[in-house]
Amino acid sequence: MSFVNRELSWLEFNQRVLDEALRESLPLLERVKFLAITASNLDEFFQVRVGGLHLMRTSGSRKRGITGMTPTQQLLKIRERATQMYQDQYTLLNDELLPKIKQEGIILTHRENLTPLQLQMLSDRFDEGIFPLLTPLADDQYAPMPSLPAMRIILACELVNNEDDSHRHVFIPMPEQLPRFIHLPSTENNNTSNEYLAPTEVIVAQFCDELFPDETVKSTMPFRITRNGDIAVQEEDAIDLAGEMEEVLAARKTSNTVRLELPNKAPASLKRIVREVTGASPPELYPVDGPLALTDFMSIAFMPGYDDLRDDSWQPQPSPATEPGESIFTTLAEKDILLNHPYESFEPVLRFLEEAATDPETIAIKQVLYRTASESRVIDALIKAAENGKQVTVLIELKARFDEARNLSHADELQRAGVQIVYGVKGLKTHAKIALVIRNEDGQLKRYVHLGTGNYNESTSRLYTDISYLTSLPAYGKDASLFFNAVTGRSKLTRFRKIVPAPTHMKPRLLELIAAEAKRAKNGEPAKITAKVNSLQDQEIIEALYEAAKQGVKIRLNIRGICCLKTGNRKEAKNIEVVSVIDRYLEHARIFSFHHGGRPLVFIASADWMTRNLDKRVELMIPIEDGPSKKRLIDILDAAFKDNCNAFRILDNGSSQRIERPKGKKRFRMQEHLQNQARTAAKTRAHERSTTFEPHRPSDL
């Protein structure tokens, strides 16, 4: 069987994002946004994936992945591909984006092009708001070097003593409390409204001599360290998981360097000393032709006052399934609700929790939290519920990478309010998206459930595409109770009637569904699989798809990111089509459809088709059985394969090719279509309400 390397496939996904930044047809600040996203993506990739490969290589591992490459071989290939990506990023920035935003009056300043008045303004700003926050770290040969912070710009300074002409080096980390860019007003007298942005490291380099009396700053150079972030709790030894997680967070600050970014034009002496201090070998060195940390350009992309340089906003629409002023529980007693975020608002999910917090009939709430917003209405609702005497149990996953500190903080808040906290499941990450509300209705207990593909995070719910399913159907409610009993009470994940959990049942069920389609195709029956996932990497799933394709199953996959399945004209792949949609929202929903002899089986899931999700995480796959909801999900799946504006075809070498609209064919953009669909449905329902008179019944009065 043929496969594509996971890490190289991910880099090709990031190239698709960069291709959006390269599109001249996009508004200028949208292009800046996509460039910043590629940089942010690379940051996490180096911390986690490259960091993990570094650990494997250091330990002497020669374990080969599914493509047969050792960790060392993968690192060499990654460096080659990432180096090209850096060149593409900075060529775009320097040749196109910076000149174009300058034409629009947004000017990135350097020491050489500051006017005397601007220099004075910056000097005042430095003295009052920057100088007090700076903490220089000396490179002292007689003392251990203080640990330099990762993922922050640091200014290396070479100093000369004015008395004895001796040299020394000092490192100044840029304070986290400061913005990356300091805004300066225009000082021109030609009625222009130019906005000047001075990078913080440029300001510090200009005035850092004030920190070192009796010394001269001979030269400066900004640099940035990426350390290995692939450090986890050794759970078999963990007695206090929260305490152990705090140690992991501390360890990441001092772990090995996996990437060192610095300007390609910088004093050789400073480059040498920085390499020595950071322990970076030549393969970890990434010289760049411009400002570091392009992820910070996101603040420029969202600068107020430049709406004409951005896309028109798309507002989440109210779901036609919910009624203003009606309790969410009243609605769910009559029907299920399927929501397609962010086209449809996340508000019903928040109402589900907020109503439960104050509802006199609610007696218990149980929920899994993986990633939440920093200012979270979900957390507030759970705290209020506990304070109102509800029994509230929350499984909060402390091993949600890079959100551990926030989750520790939220767990502490919840615990202080009286919420019963469970810190995940030993040996597994809990990635399921589920909330259960139990009400006492006239002496009878009734369960209401939310199940979804995305996190309980109202911030990302406006940026990520996800599916929510709310129901009061008894079979789903009973399964939800069984699930929480399993993850909080260590009982087995068994006896489920509807919900399919991982790591126990999901992969076997998927393999069974794929095999069933293959059997139908072999017997000459129509057979089809359509799926939408973020990543496809699991070898067993890929091999099952290859086998099904060989039997004649038509397989269509919409995969945003990693795709280790190799497309092409080989017998096992010729019936497989893979597309990837990159647009204004991050594609995040997982939806699976199996033709099943013309009676489609349709599922949503929290899990991607990756080994880590199917074998090493607690996940949920949910069958959607009511006709209208199934049809909606199938329509969403189909839309990706109609997109001729923002879709890419995944090629047999793992790279991508934008799908161009054939001449004469109507333009179709999936995300725009779904937004218009949500807008039309909301308007139609609002019109129905405005033209329908509903009398008050005696029981209403």
The per-residue pLDDT for range 69-78, each reduced to its tens digit, is: 999 999 999 9
pLDDT above 90 (res 425): no
Could you tell me the pLDDT band of residue 67, with boundaries at 50, 70 and 90? Answer: confident
Predicted TM-score (pTM) of this structure: 0.92
Could you tell me the pLDDT band of residue 631, with boundaries at 50, 70 and 90? Answer: very high
Instruction: State the average pLDDT over residues 329-352.
Output: 97
Q: What is the pLDDT of residue 698?
A: 63
3-state secondary structure 475-536: HHHHHHHHHHHHHHHCCCCCCCCCCEEECCCHHHHHHHHHHHHHHHHHCCCCCEEEEEECCE
For 11, the 3-state DSSP assignment is: helix
Instruction: State the average pLDDT over residues 180-187.
Output: 84
Cβ(650)–Cβ(581) below 8 Å: no
Q: What is the pLDDT of residue 462?
A: 95
β-strand pairing of 391-396 with 586-587: unpaired
39: Cβ–Cβ under 8 A, 6 or more apart, which residues? 89, 293, 294, 295, 297
pLDDT above 50 (res 630): yes
Q: What is the tens place of the pLDDT at every residue in 435-481?
A: 999 999 999 999 999 999 999 999 999 999 999 999 999 999 999 99
What is the rounded distance in angstroms from the CA atom of residue 468 to the CA atom of residue 344? 10
Cβ(290)–Cβ(93) below 8 Å: yes
Q: What is the tens place of the pLDDT at every residue in 220-263?
A: 999 999 998 765 545 544 445 455 444 444 554 556 899 999 99
Percent of the chain with pLDDT over 70: 93
What is the rounded distance in angstroms from the CA atom of residue 173 to the CA atom of residue 337? 50
Tally DSSP H helices, then E strands, for the chain.
Answer: 20, 27
Q: What is the pLDDT of residue 524?
A: 96
Closest CA to 258 of 276, 292, 284: 284
Per-chain mean pLDDT for the chain: 91
pLDDT above 60 (res 414): yes
Q: Which domains does the chain have, with CATH numbers?
A: 1-103+293-312 (1.20.58.310), 109-280 (3.30.1840.10), 328-495 (3.30.870.10), 502-687 (3.30.870.10)
Least confident of 138-152, 165-179, 270-284, 393-407: 393-407
What is the rounded distance in angstroms from the CA atom of residue 608 to the CA atom of residue 622? 13
Instruction: State the average pLDDT over residues 643-647.
Output: 97
The angle that helices 6-21 and 28-45 make with each other, rounded to 10 degrees, is 160
Higher-confidence residue: 366 or 494?
366
Q: What is the pLDDT of residue 407?
A: 77
| Residue 641 β-bridge partners | none
Q: What is the pLDDT of residue 427?
A: 83
What is the rounded distance in angstroms from the CA atom of residue 610 to the CA atom of residue 612? 5
Cβ(18)–Cβ(39) below 8 Å: no
Q: What is the pLDDT of residue 145?
A: 72
| Residue 437 β-bridge partners | 365, 448
| 200's tokens | 């913080």
Concatenate the DSSP letters of all residues of 181-217 into one string: EEEE----SSS---EEEEEHHHHHHHHGGGGSTTEEE
Show which residues are catalytic.
431
Task: Fill in the amino acid letter for 298.
Answer: M
β-strand pairing of 434-441 with 362-369: antiparallel
